[in-house]
Amino acid sequence: EAKVHYRQAGAFAPAREKMSKPMTKEDIAGSKLDNLLRAGEYDKVITSVDSMIEASPALAAHNRAFLLYCAGRASFEKGSYRSAAERFRGILALSLQENTWLLPHAAYRLGLSHLKLNDKPAAKQTFEKALSYSKYDNEDALRQQLERELDKL
Protein backbone atom coordinates (compact mmCIF):
# COMPACT_ATOMS: atom_id res chain seq x y z
CA GLU A 1 0.00 0.00 0.00
CA ALA A 2 2.86 2.38 0.78
CA LYS A 3 4.39 1.78 -2.66
CA VAL A 4 1.14 2.78 -4.35
CA HIS A 5 0.98 6.03 -2.37
CA TYR A 6 4.65 6.74 -3.06
CA ARG A 7 4.15 6.30 -6.80
CA GLN A 8 1.01 8.44 -6.78
CA ALA A 9 2.90 11.18 -4.98
CA GLY A 10 5.14 11.49 -8.02
CA ALA A 11 8.36 10.59 -6.27
CA PHE A 12 9.53 8.69 -9.34
CA ALA A 13 8.79 11.52 -11.78
CA PRO A 14 12.20 13.27 -11.47
CA ALA A 15 14.08 9.99 -11.91
CA ARG A 16 11.89 8.98 -14.84
CA GLU A 17 12.49 12.38 -16.47
CA LYS A 18 16.27 12.09 -16.02
CA MET A 19 16.32 8.62 -17.54
CA SER A 20 14.30 9.68 -20.59
CA LYS A 21 17.09 11.77 -22.11
CA PRO A 22 20.90 11.60 -22.30
CA MET A 23 22.92 13.26 -19.57
CA THR A 24 24.34 16.67 -20.39
CA LYS A 25 27.94 17.65 -19.76
CA GLU A 26 26.74 19.51 -16.65
CA ASP A 27 24.82 16.44 -15.40
CA ILE A 28 27.93 14.29 -15.75
CA ALA A 29 30.09 16.85 -13.92
CA GLY A 30 27.47 17.05 -11.16
CA SER A 31 27.43 13.27 -10.77
CA LYS A 32 31.22 13.22 -10.54
CA LEU A 33 31.20 15.94 -7.87
CA ASP A 34 28.51 14.13 -5.92
CA ASN A 35 30.58 10.92 -6.01
CA LEU A 36 33.67 12.78 -4.81
CA LEU A 37 31.68 14.30 -1.95
CA ARG A 38 30.35 10.90 -0.92
CA ALA A 39 33.91 9.51 -1.02
CA GLY A 40 35.19 12.31 1.23
CA GLU A 41 37.43 13.74 -1.49
CA TYR A 42 36.74 17.32 -0.40
CA ASP A 43 39.90 18.92 -1.76
CA LYS A 44 39.22 17.40 -5.19
CA VAL A 45 35.66 18.79 -5.12
CA ILE A 46 36.87 22.29 -4.26
CA THR A 47 39.65 22.23 -6.86
CA SER A 48 37.31 20.89 -9.55
CA VAL A 49 34.61 23.46 -8.81
CA ASP A 50 37.03 26.36 -8.77
CA SER A 51 38.53 25.33 -12.11
CA MET A 52 35.07 24.81 -13.67
CA ILE A 53 33.89 28.23 -12.55
CA GLU A 54 37.12 29.88 -13.72
CA ALA A 55 36.93 28.13 -17.11
CA SER A 56 33.28 29.17 -17.66
CA PRO A 57 32.68 32.77 -16.59
CA ALA A 58 29.33 32.82 -18.45
CA LEU A 59 28.05 29.74 -16.62
CA ALA A 60 24.26 29.65 -16.19
CA ALA A 61 23.14 30.74 -12.72
CA HIS A 62 21.66 27.36 -11.84
CA ASN A 63 24.86 25.53 -12.81
CA ARG A 64 27.01 28.04 -10.92
CA ALA A 65 24.77 27.62 -7.87
CA PHE A 66 25.10 23.84 -7.96
CA LEU A 67 28.89 24.07 -8.22
CA LEU A 68 29.02 26.53 -5.33
CA TYR A 69 26.79 24.21 -3.30
CA CYS A 70 29.15 21.27 -3.85
CA ALA A 71 32.19 23.36 -2.91
CA GLY A 72 30.36 24.77 0.10
CA ARG A 73 29.50 21.29 1.34
CA ALA A 74 33.10 20.16 0.83
CA SER A 75 34.44 23.22 2.65
CA PHE A 76 32.03 22.64 5.53
CA GLU A 77 33.04 18.99 5.84
CA LYS A 78 36.71 20.04 5.92
CA GLY A 79 35.96 22.45 8.75
CA SER A 80 36.51 25.54 6.58
CA TYR A 81 33.32 27.20 7.78
CA ARG A 82 34.13 30.72 6.54
CA SER A 83 34.79 29.41 3.05
CA ALA A 84 31.61 27.34 3.18
CA ALA A 85 29.61 30.39 4.30
CA GLU A 86 31.01 32.48 1.42
CA ARG A 87 30.00 29.86 -1.11
CA PHE A 88 26.49 29.42 0.31
CA ARG A 89 26.08 33.22 0.41
CA GLY A 90 27.12 33.28 -3.24
CA ILE A 91 24.23 30.97 -4.11
CA LEU A 92 21.70 33.16 -2.31
CA ALA A 93 22.99 36.19 -4.25
CA LEU A 94 22.26 34.55 -7.63
CA SER A 95 19.04 35.04 -9.56
CA LEU A 96 17.51 31.58 -9.45
CA GLN A 97 14.00 30.26 -9.94
CA GLU A 98 12.14 30.49 -6.67
CA ASN A 99 11.25 26.78 -6.57
CA THR A 100 14.76 25.38 -6.87
CA TRP A 101 15.99 23.22 -4.00
CA LEU A 102 19.33 25.04 -4.02
CA LEU A 103 18.09 28.21 -2.32
CA PRO A 104 16.59 26.72 0.85
CA HIS A 105 19.35 24.12 1.17
CA ALA A 106 22.04 26.78 0.73
CA ALA A 107 20.34 28.91 3.39
CA TYR A 108 20.18 25.91 5.73
CA ARG A 109 23.84 25.11 5.24
CA LEU A 110 24.77 28.78 5.60
CA GLY A 111 22.94 28.72 8.94
CA LEU A 112 24.93 25.65 10.00
CA SER A 113 28.13 27.46 9.00
CA HIS A 114 27.10 30.44 11.14
CA LEU A 115 26.55 28.07 14.07
CA LYS A 116 30.04 26.62 13.64
CA LEU A 117 31.38 30.18 13.61
CA ASN A 118 29.48 30.88 16.86
CA ASP A 119 27.18 33.45 15.28
CA LYS A 120 23.80 32.33 16.62
CA PRO A 121 21.85 35.47 15.59
CA ALA A 122 22.98 35.08 11.97
CA ALA A 123 22.21 31.35 12.10
CA LYS A 124 18.70 32.02 13.38
CA GLN A 125 18.05 34.65 10.71
CA THR A 126 19.35 32.35 7.97
CA PHE A 127 17.30 29.35 9.16
CA GLU A 128 14.21 31.57 9.15
CA LYS A 129 15.06 32.68 5.61
CA ALA A 130 15.31 29.02 4.57
CA LEU A 131 11.82 28.44 5.98
CA SER A 132 10.46 31.21 3.73
CA TYR A 133 11.03 29.11 0.58
CA SER A 134 8.39 26.69 -0.66
CA LYS A 135 7.56 24.22 -3.43
CA TYR A 136 10.92 22.49 -3.78
CA ASP A 137 12.03 18.85 -3.65
CA ASN A 138 12.18 17.27 -0.17
CA GLU A 139 10.64 20.35 1.41
CA ASP A 140 9.14 18.49 4.38
CA ALA A 141 12.43 16.89 5.39
CA LEU A 142 14.34 20.19 5.25
CA ARG A 143 11.61 22.02 7.17
CA GLN A 144 11.90 19.44 9.97
CA GLN A 145 15.67 19.92 10.12
CA LEU A 146 15.26 23.71 10.17
CA GLU A 147 12.68 23.58 12.95
CA ARG A 148 14.97 21.34 15.01
CA GLU A 149 17.87 23.78 14.57
CA LEU A 150 15.67 26.74 15.50
CA ASP A 151 14.40 24.91 18.59
CA LYS A 152 18.02 24.48 19.74
CA LEU A 153 18.57 28.23 19.51
pTM for the whole thing? 0.83
- Name, in order, each residue with C-beta under 8 angstroms of 49's C-beta and a sequence gap of 6 or more: 33, 67, 68, 70, 71, 74
Helix residue ranges per DSSP H, the chain: 2-8, 13-19, 25-38, 42-55, 61-78, 81-92, 102-116, 120-131, 139-152
Q: Bigger pLDDT: 135 or 87?
A: 87
Amino acid at residue number 57? P
pLDDT tens track for 47-59: 999 999 999 888 8
- Phi, psi angle pair for 98, to nearest 5°: -60, -30
Query: Which segment of 26-30, 95-99, 127-131, 138-142 scores lowest on mean pLDDT?
Result: 95-99
Look at residue 57 in the predicted model and tell me its pLDDT. 84
